Amino acid sequence: MKKVKVLIIWGYGINCETETAYAFKLCEADPEIVHLSEIFLGEKRIPDYQILCFPGGFLDGDHLGSAQACAHRFKFLKIKGKIPLWEEVLRFLDQGGLIIGICNGFQLLVKIGLLPGGKYLGQRKVTLTYNESGKFENRWVYLKVNNQSPCIFLKGLDELYLPVRHGEGNFIVRDQETLNELKKNHQIALQYIHPETKSPTLEYPFNPNGSQEAVAGLTDPTGRIFGLMPHPEAFNNWTNHPQWNRKKNKIAQGLYIFKNAVEWVKENIL
């Protein structure tokens, strides 16, 4: 059977590419780790794959403006001086491809303008900035899935427990009109919740960064583009769980997200 081809970007500070590829491989996909320079030089073409993944790490320094340089490349660079890279991305989407951005990859998606997408495609209407705590946050968080969201990656899921590792995860929307649009389309796909009330929360440390509306993950109106701050690839085996030897549930929840994407491509593209 033909396998789903996954393009996993790395380089310029991205450092979660190996475990992300491993997660996709566990879900029976065919992941390929490709340096950004290979894309920029036209040695590898985005439309040749079915899933495009921007992993976490420290892209472009991971400080205010992180992913900024890379976003400009994707918007304005011309491959071999001829083909706009942005057109390659749009061609990939026209073919039905899926895009996921994790942590720093989520930052890149919002700075490129792939999120929130829809009528805002190509525009920067939201951002991710410094954590309100003023420091890097490395902790596990409780998450609630919006079951009305069109997000393909979260299909059939309800609650998740995943780690965050970031200094800039504070989600902010440019204006009330944009926020209303996100709510209307159920694009707020994943939220930080309080472990006791199970409700979206702004309370620290359950909301580790102060994100507006407790946003931990955002999708576009089609559900095919998804960005999230938590690291699902970091929970690819039960022993990753901080209480792995005490809990009875032996499921690595992070794999659900990758499996949903792979299964969707098999059913709709291959």
**Catalytic machinery residues:** 103, 231, 233
Peptide bond before 55: cis, by omega within 30 degrees of 0?
no
Helices and strands in the chain: count of H runs, count of E runs: 7, 13
Helix (H) or strand (E) run with residue 8 in it: strand 5-10
Quote the CA–CA distance of 52 and 49 in Å, as a whole number.
7
SS3 248: coil
* CB-CB contact of 149 with 219 (8 Å): yes
Burial class (CB in 10 A: 0-12, 13-18, 19+), 243: exposed
* CB-CB contact of 186 with 118 (8 Å): no
Distances (CA, A) of 232 to 5, 93, 165, 260: 19, 23, 11, 12
Q: What is the DSSP letter of 4?
A: P
Among left, alpha and beta (phi > 0; psi -120 to 50; other), residue 173 is beta
Amino acid, res. 150: P
Maximum Cα–Cα distance across the chain = 57
